[in-house]
A and B are shown apart, each in its own frame.
Chain A
Amino acid sequence: MAKRKRTKKQRVRMQIQESGERIRNFEEVALGFTEDEAVEEASRCLQCKHPRCIKGCPVNVRIPEFILKLKEGDIDSAKEIILSTNSLPAITGRVCPQENQCQEFCIHPNAISIGGLERFVADHGKRPEIVPSEKLQSKVAIIGSGPSGLTCAAELANFGHEVVLYEALHEYGGVLTYGIPEFRMPKQVVKEEVEYVQSLGVRLEKDILIGKTITIDELLNEYEYDAVYIASGAGTPNFLKIPGENLKGVYSANEFLTRVNLLKGYDFPEYDTPVSVGEKVAVIGAGNVAMDAARTSLRLGAREVDIIYRRTEGECPARLEEIIHAKEEGVVIGELTSPVEILGDKKGNVIGLKCLRMQLGEKDASGRRRPIPIPNTEFIFPVDTVIIAIGQKPNQLIAQTTPGLESTRWGTLVHKEETGETTRERVYTGGDVATGAATVILAMEAGRKAAKAIHEKILGKIKVE
């Protein structure tokens, strides 16, 4: 009885694959709640009259309402409530940094596992039947099938517009498909979410690179779209610009993860795309992409994987859960270390990383303490594979091929935050191409806002404030 009381107060722990086991497979690490666990966790929610959790959610999911339905055992209604503001809950429940969003605002001393519950409802609830909306005589083109494009497409289809979504790669989902690994974001889940968006009447067209195959101007003038939403993401990798970066065995995280996730390089030669990791891998950077690359390297058979980071673990931009999982799996976080050169042998293979020790100085513009090199602390770290994960910037293709579409000096598209309007009429944008690399849920929020703005514009109902 006493034990029961304690568990009521404390968060129900989600089962995860044991670390020794999971580094031998690409299956999902967090296994999700059972129904009993989900209901038990749901019953901890205090059902606040003025819930703060909702404000912490970028798309304002009606959290206490769905949790109440779940507690009552009505999973399908819980799902309907979530879907009214969030088109991709199986994804957000898995990858949102909830500790900085909804769960941060939860007033319970042990915040409710809102992400875990959202995931449970998404995975186990039935999709509500789709009531076809009244068709409008308008059509909108969406560029990019990542979270922002999918959300915008779903919203616009619900408003009754004809929506066509263009994707450059051969699979839909953007970073959910090529970037985030299977062990964190099962591709079947992404596929089902994409199929849901399709079931709303959205037409998907793959293998079309807007800016090359068809330009934005052609979409507006020849294909006669009423509006275009650009959600092409931030997919161009940054390199370090240090000597040795073009040696064999040096990957951008984008290349490495694309080979593994999109092209299933881990199942080579069953799949045709090769991917190579050595015994000792250094991953440079400490965001989610770096954690994904490090954990993927272990699963491909690397014996030792080190994260090389200029600051300390406390400043790592990755989700806390991912850092914990990475460390459990054996990834070592090399703090206060900065690479200055990648060393190679005569055949052009990587043999080491020359690094410099750092110390933290004054706070910089981002509010984090700036790393400063300590002179004469150079050392050589023997590695045979280097993966660079120091961030991505938007691909310039669309900006370069669309006259009048202005971008900032960071390569992001100039836009109004509330509506996503760009400097070109009828052209909207959102997600990473507008903001720089950020989160899945912020990209989705931008997609929703733009859909509303496009809808109102098309209906001629734009309000002047």
Chain B
Amino acid sequence: MNKIVEKEFFSDSVVKLVIEAPYIAQSRKAGHFVIVRTGQKGERIPLTIAEADLEKGTITIIIQKVGVSSIKLCNMEVGDYITDVVGPLGRPTHIEKVGTVLASGGGVGIAPLLPIVEAMKKAGNKIITVLAARRKDLIILEEQIRKYSDEVIIMTDDGSYGKKGLVTDGMEEIIKREKINQVITVGPAIMMKYVALLTKKNKIPTLASLNTIMVDGTGMCGACRISVGGKTRFVCVDGPEFDAHQVDFDEMLLRLNFYRDKEEKAYDNFLNKYRKAL
């Protein structure tokens, strides 16, 4: 188990890994995630299951290099074994036919959006997807998303691909044009905050898939807790999806920064070791 059977670079900093994980492949649904640990000294990090292949018993995860753990994972090769992969975790996305769904994904958040878009399409919804990233090479899975979308709009901060602008600019255009029954958003917390503000103004029900700090991912510690409608909820067991209009994104943004100093220290330490090894 946990053997890497396929690896693909989407860009210099975004990697797709296909992993042998038959138990997880069998029981996972759209919206589920896994906790992954790399090496005996590794930390536990959450990653969404982007795709699964029941016959081959594999799951697909997509990782962006942002710190020590994600770099370690991105540096693994086909044939290597990941120390620990546990899941599927969290509640699956509630899938039903609602009419027109506007899906928005930012950066590596497009990966968790893919299985949701797929399931929503198969449930008979019309899907319009807005994909956004800083620049062209950070737009991932475009082809797969197109397969399950009736329309795809691409936004880049620098205008290097699609239209120039933020995810909300693309969404606003659609909202002005036609009736949207449901919005689903996955991406950086700051992006989801602004998506929530936009759709609240337009009174469109909105689900956001939250990406808080996690340790065990099974509900035993509360590291991932967040205020939703004034109540404390655990993202790992009560989520990761919540009504975006009820989520306290400002609190979430603050909590995400708690270990910033330590993360930087770990990163410097890692680079020094890496240099020495070279």
Do the two shown chains form a genuine complex with each other? yes
In the complex, which residues 127-183 of chain A have their Cβ closer than 8 Å to any Cβ of chain B?
A: 168-170
A274 to B263, CA, bound (A): 8
Is residue A206 within 8 Å, beta carbon to beta carbon, of the partner chain? yes
A209 pairs with B251, CB closer than 8 A: no
Please tell me if the beta carbons of A237 and B86 are within 8 angstroms of each other in the complex.
no
Is A34 an interface residue, CB under 8 A from the partner? no
Residues of A within 8 A of B262 (CB): 268-269, 274, 276
Inter-chain contact A207/B84, CB cutoff 8 Å: yes
Question: What residue of chain A has the Cβ atom nearest to residue B226's Cβ?
Answer: A246
Interface assignment of A118: CB less than 8 Å from any CB of chain B = no
Of A258-266, A287-295, A335-343, the segment with at least 4 beta carbons within 8 Å of chain B is A258-266
Secondary structure call for the A interface:
loop
Q: Does A212 contact B (CB under 8 A)?
A: yes
Residue A425 is within 8 A (CB to CB) of chain B in the complex? no
Q: How far is the CA of A441 from the CA of B226 in the complex (A)?
A: 36
Q: For B226, what are the chain A residues with a Cβ–Cβ distance below 8 Å?
A: 246
**Residue in chain B with minimal CB distance to A245:** B232
Q: B11-19, B37-45, B100-108, B182-190: which one contacts chain A?
A: B37-45
Residues in A with CB closer than 8 Å to B43 are 263, 271-274
B74 vs chain A, min Cβ distance (A): 15
Distance of A395 Cα from B217 Cα, bound (Å): 12
Q: Give the distance to chain B from A97, nearest Cβ to Cβ, in Å.
A: 24
The residues of A that contact B232 with a CB separation of less than 8 Å are 239, 241, 245-246
- A235 within 8 A of partner (CB): yes
B74-124: which residues lie under 8 A (CB-CB) from chain A?
83-89
Asked if B160 is an interface residue, CB under 8 A from chain A, the answer is: no
Instruction: Tell whether, in the assembled complex, residue B86 and residue A397 are in contact, meaning their CB atoms are under 8 Å apart.
Output: no
Q: How far is the CB of A191 from the nearest CB of chain B, in Å?
A: 13
Name A311-350 residues within 8 Å CB distance of B: 347-348
Query: Which B residues are CB-close (under 8 A) to A36?
Result: none
CB pair A259–B215 under 8 Å, yes or no, is: yes
B219 on interface, CB distance cutoff 8 Å: yes
Quote the shortest CB–CB distance from A63 to chain B (angstroms).
Answer: 35
- Determine whether the beta carbon of A207 is less than 8 Å from that of B215: no
Instruction: Render B250-274 as a binary contact track against A, CB cut-off 8 A, 1 for contact.
Output: 0100110111001101100110000
Contact in complex: A168, B84 (CB < 8 Å) = no
In the assembled complex, the CB of B257 is this many whole angstroms from the nearest CB of chain A, namely: 7
A213 to B27, CA, bound (A): 6
8 Å CB contacts to A: which residues of B220-259? Answer: 220-223, 225-227, 232, 237, 251, 254-255, 257-259
A236-260 vs B, CB cutoff 8 Å, 1 = contact: the mask equals: 1101010001101100101100110
Task: Mark contacts of A188-219 with chain B using CB atoms, 8 A cut-off: 1 yes-contact digit, 0 otherwise.
Answer: 00000000000000000011110011100000
Cα A159 to Cα B68 in complex, Å, equals: 47
User: Which A residues lie within 8 Å of B255 (CB)?
Assistant: 246, 248, 348
Name the contact of A248 in the complex, choosing from B42, B85, B257 (C-beta under 8 A).
B257
Does A214 lie within 8 Å of B27, measured CB to CB?
A: yes
* A270 with B41: CB separation less than 8 A: yes
**Most A CB within 10 A of own CB, among B39, B220, B222, B269:** B220
Interface-centre pick from A268, A272, A276 (highest chain B CB count, 10 A): A272
Residues from chain A with a CB closer than 8 A to the CB of B85 are 207
Q: What does the 1/0 interface line of B19-48 toward A look like (CB < 8 Å)?
A: 000011001000000000101011110000
Find the A residue at minimum CB distance from B88. Answer: A212
On chain A, the residues within 8 Å of B263 by CB distance are 274
- The residue that A237 contacts in the complex, of B27, B69, B221, B257, with Cβ under 8 A, is B221
Expressed in whole angstroms, the Cα–Cα distance for A273 and B257 within the complex equals 15
Known: A170-B37, A248-B254. A272 touches B266 (CB 8 A): yes
- Shortest C-beta distance, A39 to chain B (Å), equals 40
Q: Is the CB of A213 within 8 A of B86?
A: yes
When each residue 135-151 of chain B gets 1 if its CB lies under 8 Å from chain A and 0 otherwise, what string results?
A: 00000000000000000
A348 to B266, CA, bound (A): 23
The reply to whether B251 and A246 form a contact with Cβ atoms under 8 Å apart is: yes
Task: Please name all residues of chain A whose beta carbon is closer than 8 Å to the beta carbon of B86 when the two chains form the complex.
Answer: 168, 170, 207-209, 213
Q: Is the CB of B41 within 8 A of A271?
A: yes
Bound state CA distance, A276 and B255, in angstroms? Answer: 13
Whether B237 contacts A264 by the Cβ 8 Å rule is no
B216 at the A interface (CB under 8 A): yes
C-alpha gap A209/B87 in the complex (Å): 7
| CB <8 Å contact, A272 and B215 | no
Docked-complex contact A254 and B221, CB < 8 angstroms: yes
**In contact, A348 and B222 (Cβ under 8 angstroms):** no
Please, how many angstroms separate the alpha-carbon atoms of A93 and B262 in the complex? 38
How many Å from the CB of B39 to the closest CB on chain A?
Answer: 8
Residue of A nearest to B27 (CB): A213
Q: Which of B24, B42, B219, B270 touches A236 (beta carbons < 8 Å)?
A: B219
A263→B89 CA distance, assembly (Å): 20
Whether A169 lies near B216 (C-beta < 8 A) is yes
Question: Would A248 and B219 be within 8 Å (CB), given that A213-B87, A270-B41 are in contact?
Answer: no
Query: How many angstroms between the C-alpha atoms of A304 and B223 in the bound complex?
Result: 24
* Interface assignment of B181: CB less than 8 Å from any CB of chain A: no
| A269 contact set on B, CB distance < 8 A | 68, 262, 265-266, 269-270
Residue interface mask B40-83, A partner, CB < 8 A = 1:
01111000000000000000000000001100000000000001
Known: A214-B23, A270-B41. 12 other contacts (CB 8 A): A206-B84, A208-B23, A208-B86, A209-B89, A213-B27, A237-B220, A254-B220, A255-B215, A258-B221, A268-B266, A274-B263, A276-B262
A selection of 25 A-B contacts at a CB cut-off of 8 Å is A168-B86, A207-B86, A209-B218, A212-B89, A213-B24, A214-B27, A235-B220, A239-B232, A245-B232, A246-B225, A248-B255, A255-B215, A255-B223, A258-B215, A258-B216, A263-B43, A269-B265, A269-B266, A270-B41, A272-B68, A276-B258, A276-B259, A276-B262, A397-B219, A397-B237
* 6 closest cross-chain pairs (CB), A and B: A348-B254, A255-B221, A274-B262, A272-B43, A235-B220, A273-B43
